[in-house]
């Protein structure tokens, strides 16, 4: 991997916040002067992270736990709501306890979460069923039905979102069709983020960022889209109120007691994890891009207003303070690489985990043994469907060129390259509307593989800057809290905390090879796409 080094990794930010609770009793016998700490709670698809940051961006402590994705039937991707809450509370409690043990005073808790989730609550605000995640594909028929009956261009121009199973409208239509009793009893239909916020504060609100990622919110005035409301015959009150991302709400007294926090500790309602990750890696200036590969993957760039694609290839989600994150995402990314790991390297990954090592070491090592192109094996990685740029909810995975001479190492390499080739399509769509990047910062768990970073750099034919590895969504959430507390005058100033010290450049000998692979990849997709629906 070709690396270029620069001198600075983290810039120190000015700190001007004066807090009246600068002293807090750690135990019954001593009172210590504490460091102010800002917590970001990031509730993802398959895990929860709570991270405590100092005002200069330094990570003080972090807690994390995995969550099980449930699939009780074909196409289902659910989470148990009670376990979702319990896990979030436990991780938050652990992080607070650890920060307090390090003389930390908790100034605020800021929330980050996924888009595209849905929870049905009864009149007592109790869940009526498991939460649906963005990966739930059971509403595919409802996507087709709604896209056939509604004006897609009109909705896209109002919401900056496409018609797809990740969005809320088709999920509600599926619930009406397949779970009529639950729908009848549902007083609220909200994202999982709102469920956590309600548990912490008692308020039933959704931040504008997550709401914009529902596909049902008008971006101009943050009102629920009338086309979708009329189509679903649903009252906007059922979707809850929409508030700005930096809205502060106090903890419920019983929650403050449970977390051992001062009752006035505010909860910053926060934003969605993708836009917050962009903030958390410091990439919100004009012309800066981010490329992320985790469970899903995305390319993003920030602007002062939504930028729409003439062919509806991309989306735009709200961040905060008038900033919008334009981008495209793919569902079949790290979740597919994990599938390959568990299917083909199960024993090795288990042994590595038991030894406290990275369970991906075996598959990453195997990829490095195979040259680019995997000896003619190519994968279309749509095991979880496709989002950008073609928005084909029926797309499925495909291997092309498989021979007796291929083994699991070739398959692993083909998976890695297929995900990268798909993400390359997303990047090209985004560049079409937002212009060429001045810098591309890359994040995500995929960075544990140097081969994968190099592959992506080659596919994009772009330098990739490597910000310090960490919890970027949690840091982005904490930055909202810092700005609200007066530590920074703007998100742009907060973003300056993060600087890069290293970058990976394309390998000229391999770039032309991936140009050829890209053409083959797109030709295979065009040929097979009509068959996906059957």
3-state secondary structure 88-153: HHHHHHHHHHHHHHCCEEEEEEEEEECCCCEEEECCCCCECCCEECCCCCCCHHHHHHHHHHCCHH
pLDDT of residue 528: 94
Residue found under tokens 């993003």:
300
Burial grade of 28 (CB within 10 A; 0-12, 13-18, 19 or more): exposed
Give me the sign of the Cα torsion angle 428, 432, 438, 443: negative
**Residue of 20, 53, 57 whose CA lies nearest to 37:** 53
CATH dotted code for 330-466+501-532: 3.30.420.40
What is the per-residue pLDDT for 13? Answer: 32
Other Cβ atoms less than 10 A from the Cβ of 29: the count is 6
pLDDT at position 14: 29
pLDDT value at 138 more than 60: yes
Cα separation, 336 vs 410, whole angstroms: 15
Residue-wise DSSP of 182-231: HHHH-SEEE-HHHHHHHHHHS--EEEHHHHHTTT-B-TTT--B-HHHHHH
Q: What mean pLDDT do residues 308-337 have? A: 95
What whole-number percentage of the chain has pLDDT above 90?
Answer: 87
Angle among Cα 154, 290, 170 to the nearest 5 degrees reads 35
Query: pLDDT category, 1, cuts 50, 70, 90?
Result: low
Per-residue model confidence as pLDDT tens digits over 190-242: 999 999 999 999 999 999 999 999 999 999 999 999 999 999 999 999 999 99
Mean pLDDT of 403-417: 98
Residue 441, pLDDT score? 97
**Do the bridges between strand 188-190 and strand 297-303 make them parallel or antiparallel, or are there none, so unpaired?**
unpaired
132 close to 171: Cβ distance less than 8 angstroms:
yes
Q: What is the DSSP letter of 243?
A: E
pLDDT of residue 56: 93
What does pLDDT average to over the chain?
Answer: 91
E strands present in 9-84: 23-25, 31-33, 35-43, 47-53, 59-66, 78-79
The pLDDT value given to residue 519: 97
Q: Which residues pair with 400 in a beta bridge?
A: 378
User: How far apart, in Å, are the Cα atoms of 274 and each of 42, 209, 257, 423, 527?
Assistant: 11, 10, 31, 15, 32
Helix 472-485 crosses helix 273-280 at what angle (to 10 degrees)?
80
Q: What is the pLDDT of residues 49-100, one digit of tens each?
A: 999 999 999 999 999 998 888 999 988 999 999 999 999 999 999 999 999 9
At CA 151, angle to CA 227 and CA 422, rounded to 5? 110
**Average pLDDT for 286-299:** 94
Above 80 in pLDDT, residue 477? yes
Helix (H) or strand (E) holding 484: helix 472-485
Dihedral sign of CA atoms 182, 183, 186, 192 in order = positive
The lowest-confidence range among 52-61, 445-454, 463-472 is 463-472
Q: How far is CA 175 from CA 82, 164, 171, 181, in A?
A: 20, 15, 6, 9
pLDDT at residue 3 tops 90: no
Cis before 389 (ω within 30): yes
Per residue in 246-267, pLDDT (tens digit) is 999 999 999 999 999 998 999 9
State the CATH architecture for 3-282+468-495: 2-Layer Sandwich (3.30)
Q: Which residue from 337, 496, 345, 471 is spatially nearest to 407, judged by alpha carbons?
A: 345
C-alpha to C-alpha distance for 292 and 469, rounded to whole angstroms: 12
The percent of residues above 70 in pLDDT, for the chain, comes to 94
CA-to-CA dists, residue 436 to 168, 331, 455, 486, angstroms: 32, 24, 20, 34
Domain layout of the chain by residue ranges: 3-282+468-495, 330-466+501-532
pLDDT at residue 173, as a whole number: 98
Per-residue pLDDT at 99: 96
Task: Return the higher-pLDDT residue of 521 and 10.
Answer: 521
CA distances from 339 to 150, 186, 333, 344, 438 (A): 36, 35, 10, 8, 34
pLDDT reported for residue 80: 96
Q: Which residues contact 409 (CB under 8 A, 6 or more apart)?
A: 366, 367, 369, 370
What local confidence, expressed as pLDDT, does residue 33 receive? 54
Can you list the alpha helix ranges (DSSP code H) found in 233-379?
A: 253-259, 273-280, 334-344, 346-354, 361-368
């Amino acid at each position: 991997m070709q690396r270029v080094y620069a001198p600075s990794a983290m810039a120190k930010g000015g700190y001007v916040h004066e807090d009246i609770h600068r002293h807090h009793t750690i135990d019954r016998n001593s009172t210590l002067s504490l460091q102010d700490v800002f917590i970001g709670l990031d509730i993802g698809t398959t895990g929860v992270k709570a991270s405590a940051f100092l005002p200069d961006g330094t990570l003080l402590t972090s807690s994390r736990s995995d969550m099980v994705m449930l699939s009780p039937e074909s196409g289902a991707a659910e989470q148990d709501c009670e376990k979702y809450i319990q896990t979030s509370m436990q991780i938050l409690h652990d992080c607070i306890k650890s920060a307090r043990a390090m003389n930390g005073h908790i100034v605020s808790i800021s929330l980050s979460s996924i888009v595209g989730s849905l929870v049905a609550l009864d009149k007592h605000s109790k869940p009526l069923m498991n939460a649906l995640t963005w990966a739930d594909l059971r509403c595919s028929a409802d996507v087709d039905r709604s896209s056939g009956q509604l004006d897609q261009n009109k909705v896209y121009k109002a919401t900056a979102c496409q018609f797809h199973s990740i969005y809320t409208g088709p999920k509600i239509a599926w619930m009406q069709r397949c779970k009529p009793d639950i729908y009848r009893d549902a007083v609220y239909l909200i994202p999982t983020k709102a469920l956590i916020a309600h548990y912490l504060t008692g308020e039933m609100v959704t931040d504008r960022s997550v709401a914009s990622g529902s596909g049902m919110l008008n971006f101009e005035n943050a009102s629920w889209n009338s086309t979708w409301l009329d189509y679903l015959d649903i009252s906007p009150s059922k979707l809850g109120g929409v508030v700005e991302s930096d809205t502060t709400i106090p903890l419920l007294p019983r929650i403050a007691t449970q977390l051992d926090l001062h009752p006035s500790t505010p909860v910053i309602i926060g934003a969605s994890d993708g836009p917050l990750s962009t903030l958390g890696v410091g990439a919100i200036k004009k012309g800066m891009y981010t490329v992320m590969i985790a469970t899903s993957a995305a390319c993003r760039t920030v602007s002062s207003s939504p930028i729409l694609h003439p062919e509806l290839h991309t989306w735009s989600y709200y961040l905060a303070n008038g900033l919008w994150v334009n981008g495209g995402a793919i569902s079949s990314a790290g979740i597919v690489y994990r599938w390959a790991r568990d299917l083909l390297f199960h024993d090795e990954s288990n042994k590595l985990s038991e030894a406290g090592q990275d369970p991906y070491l075996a598959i990453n090592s195997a990829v490095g043994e195979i040259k680019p192109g995997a000896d003619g094996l190519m994968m279309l990685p749509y095991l979880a469907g496709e989002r950008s740029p073609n928005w084909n909810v029926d797309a499925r995975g495909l291997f092309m060129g498989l021979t007796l001479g291929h083994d699991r190492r070739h398959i692993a390499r083909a998976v890695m390259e297929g995900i990268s080739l798909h993400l390359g399509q997303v990047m090209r769509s985004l560049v079409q509307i937002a212009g060429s990047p001045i810098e591309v910062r890359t994040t995500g768990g995929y960075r544990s593989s140097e081969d994968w970073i190099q592959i992506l750099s080659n596919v994009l034919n772009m330098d990739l800057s490597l910000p310090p590895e960490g919890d970027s969504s949690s840091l982005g959430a904490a930055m909202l809290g810092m700005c609200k507390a007066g530590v920074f005058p703007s998100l742009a100033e907060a973003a300056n905390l993060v600087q890069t010290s290293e970058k990976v450049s394309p390998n000229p000998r391999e770039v032309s090879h991936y140009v050829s692979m890209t053409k083959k990849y797109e030709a295979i997709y065009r040929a097979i796409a009509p068959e996906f629906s059957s």
